[in-house]
Structure 1
Amino acid sequence: MDWLERTATLRQWTKGGARAPHKPLLFLYALSRFQQDADGELIYSAVEEELKRLLAEYGPPNKTTPAYPFHHLASDGVWEVRTHDGLGSPGSGVRELRATGAAGRLAPELRTALRREPSLLGRMARVLLDLHFPPSLHGELCEAIGLELEPAETGRPSSARRSRDRRMRELVLTAYEYQCAFCGYDGRIGAVPVGLEAAHVRWWAFGGPDDVDNGLCLCSLHHKLFDKGVLGVGDGHRILVSQRFVGHSPAAREHVIALAGRPLIGPQPGVHPVATHHRSWHTSQVFHGTPRPGSDLPRARPKEASHTRSQLSPRTPTG
């Protein structure tokens, strides 16, 4: 049985590019728990709150319940559910799962395969991460669920092979003149920019193309906050800041809250800005909550002339 192929083809609700990472999150969580205790099981009532937290942090903005993937993942052949009455899920209702003492774990055949070939777990986890989450979130998601992966653990089934365009980073950074589109940060060591990244607006994992009009040059901090749904890009290419974000320090106010309503810095003339359909996808599928009211204060462009930056040709590989 090709477990990598099965991992890559989980049946999910899809409509108009909507995110539905419920099954992948539960599957990653189950792989992590297997890594810690190969014979253990996940009692729904005991893990419900933790799964809720993961869905709230790494799932789409709309409210959801972990009962849905807990029940439905069994249909993909990688998961099983037992109750007081034996094998089989009582349904996708929270009350039923709690009342029947429902417990889930990886399917017996998969547990056998993972014991026989320990490296398979890491390769399956990589498939789930690559297909459903941007690279900027992989490390912290693994840390959040307690999953330990070796750096060399890679590999995807043929159906998951879609090559990234390695030129995108340089094209996007050049388009935005090597400065963060949100804050103007433009640090470099010699001719090499540091702390600047090419962010996909519509995630690559969800069909986002490696095109400049789907990219933003962002500093590492704002890239992470953009992928977490704290920041977004609204009408008029103005910065959105979620009302759910809370920060009382001067740094949080200056580097995040004060961005609300400010226009993006760049791209340079002649370059297409972020396409409306990519912005709309990010706003509906990633951005959390309601935007904060924008500031009426004008946003000054950094004083340095940008023509010297545009002559740089960094050789840093795409992250």
Structure 2
Amino acid sequence: MDWLERAAKLRQWTRSGTRAPHKPLLFLYALGRYQLDSDGELGYSAVEEDLKRLLTEYGPSNRSTPAYPFHHLVSDGVWEVRTRHGAGSPGTGVRELRETGAAGRLVPELRAALRREPSLLGRMAQVLLDLNFPPSLHGELCEAVGLELEPARTERLSPARRQRDRRMRELVLTAYEYRCAFCGYDGRIGAVPVGLEAAHVRWWAFDGPDEVDNGLCLCSLHHKLFDKGVLGIGDDHRVLVSQRFVGGSPVARDQVISLAGRPLIGPQAGASPIAPAHRYWHADQVFQGAPRPAAAV
């Protein structure tokens, strides 16, 4: 049985690039808990708050209850649910899952495969990360679900569907003249830029192309905040800052809140600006809540 393929082909509700990371998040959480206790069950009532937090932090704005993946992941052949009445999930209702003492865990066949081949866990986790989240979030997401991946498993191990264009970074950084499009940071050590990255506006995992019109040159801080939905891009190519972001320090105000309403820096003349379709996808699927009003000059 190809467990990597099962991880890659979780049945998720999709439409026009809509994100539905509910099952991948539960699966990653279950793998993390397996590392702690390979035979333990996850009682729904005990893990509901953890799952709710993961959906809030790493899911799109149109979130659903954690009961949804707890029930529906069963259909993918990697997860089982039992209640005090026996095998089988009582449904997607939070009340039913709580009142029946529902508990889930990885199916016996998968647990046996993980015992035979311990490296399988890291490979499955990387598949789930690669196909559902941008690389900038992988490390913190592993921490959030309690996963410890071996260094060798940080390589991209997902089944090859599309090949990444290795020129993307250089093309995007050149288009933006090696400056962060949000804050203007342009640090170098000698001739080598440091702390500058090529960010995908529409995530590569969701069919975002490796092209300049889907890229931004961002410093490491603003890349992370862009992928977390704290920052976005408005129709007028000005920076959006989420009202959900809270920061009282001078650094938070200067580096984040003060960006609200600023025009993007770049791209240079002749380079493709961000395509509207990619901006709309990020605004709908990643940006958190409503934008703050433009910062006072």
Mark yes or no: TM-score above 0.5.
yes
Q: What corresponds to 2:162 in structure 1?
A: 162
Deviation at 1:115, TM superposition (A): 0.6
Q: Is the 8 A contact 2:130 2:158 kept in 1?
A: no
Q: Which residue of 2 aligns with 1:62?
A: 62
* Matched-pair contact (CA < 8 Å) for 2:257–2:295: no
SS in 2 for 1:251: helix
SS at match of 2:151: coil
8 Å contact from structure 2 (residues 67, 97) kept in 1: yes
Question: Which deviates further from its counterpart, 195-204 or 144-153?
Answer: 144-153
Find the aligned partners of 2:98 and 2:233 in 1 and give their Cα distance: 41
Q: Residue type matched to 1:171 in 2?
A: L
In the other structure, the counterpart of 1:309 is: none
Identity of matched residues, %? 80
**Partner in structure 2 of residue 202 of structure 1:** 202
Task: Describe the superposition over 1:160-210 as per-residue Cα deviations: whole angstroms up to 9, x where unpaired.
Answer: 432211000000000000000000000000110000000000000000000
State the 1:296 CA deviation. 5.5
Q: Which runs of no fewer than 5 residues in structure 1 stay unpaired?
A: 298-319
Equivalent runs, 1:1-319 vs 2, <5 Å? 1-153=1-153, 154=155, 156=157, 158=159, 160-295=160-295, 297=297
C-alpha deviation, 1:151, in angstroms: 1.7
Tell me the secondary structure at the aligned position of residue 30 of structure 1: helix
Aligned in 2, Cα 1:157/1:289: closer, same or farther, shift over 3 Å? closer
Q: How many residues align?
A: 296
Equivalent AA in structure 2 for residue 135 of structure 1: P
Q: How much is the aligned-residue C-alpha RMSD, in angstroms?
A: 1.0
Residue 266 of structure 1 aligns with an amino acid whose one-letter code is G
Superposition deviation, residue 128 in structure 1:
0.2
Return the offset for 1:145: 1.0
**Counterpart Cα distance in 2 of 1:143 and 1:188:** 30
Measure how far apart 1:113 and its partner are: 0.4
Is contact 1:30–1:105 with CA below 8 Å preserved after alignment?
Answer: yes
SS at match of 2:236: helix
- TM-score, length-scaled by structure 1: 0.91
Query: Partners in 1 of 2:201 and 2:292 — Cα distance?
Result: 20
Structure 1 Cα separation of the partners of residues 254 and 181 of structure 2: 15
Gaps of 5+ in 2: none
Q: Which residue of 2 aligns with 1:304?
A: none
Q: Which whole-Å CA distance do the structure 2 matches of 1:83 and 1:285 have between them?
A: 34
Contact kept? 1:4, 1:156, Cα under 8 Å: no
Shift of 1:272: 1.1
CA shift at 1:155, angstroms? 6.1
CA distance in structure 2 between the partners assigned to 1:19 and 1:33 by the alignment: 24
Matches of 1:157 and 1:245, distance apart in 2 = 33
- The residue type equivalent to 2:20 in the other structure is A
- Stretches of 4+ moved more than 4 A in 1? none
Q: What amino acid is aligned across from residue 149 of structure 1 in structure 2?
A: L
Q: Are the counterparts in 2 of residues 240 and 261 from structure 1 also a CA contact under 8 Å? A: yes
Question: In the aligned structure 1, how far is the partner of 2:179 from the partner of 2:8?
Answer: 36
Given that 2:22 and 2:66 are in contact with CA atoms closer than 8 Å, whether structure 1 keeps it comes out as yes
* 1:34 Cα offset (Å): 0.4
Give the whole-Å Cα distance in 1 for the aligned partners of 2:125 and 2:22.
Answer: 15
SS of corresponding position for 2:240? strand
SS in 2 for 1:68: helix
The CA distance in 2 between the partners of 1:219 and 1:65, in whole Å, is 34
Q: Which amino acid aligns with 2:78?
A: V
Distance 1:141 1:296 in 2: 35
Supply the distance in 1 between the matched residues of 2:47 and 2:273 (Cα, whole angstroms): 43
| Aligned equivalents of 2:33, 2:296: Cα separation in 1 | 49
C-alpha distance in 2, partners of 1:245/1:61?
14
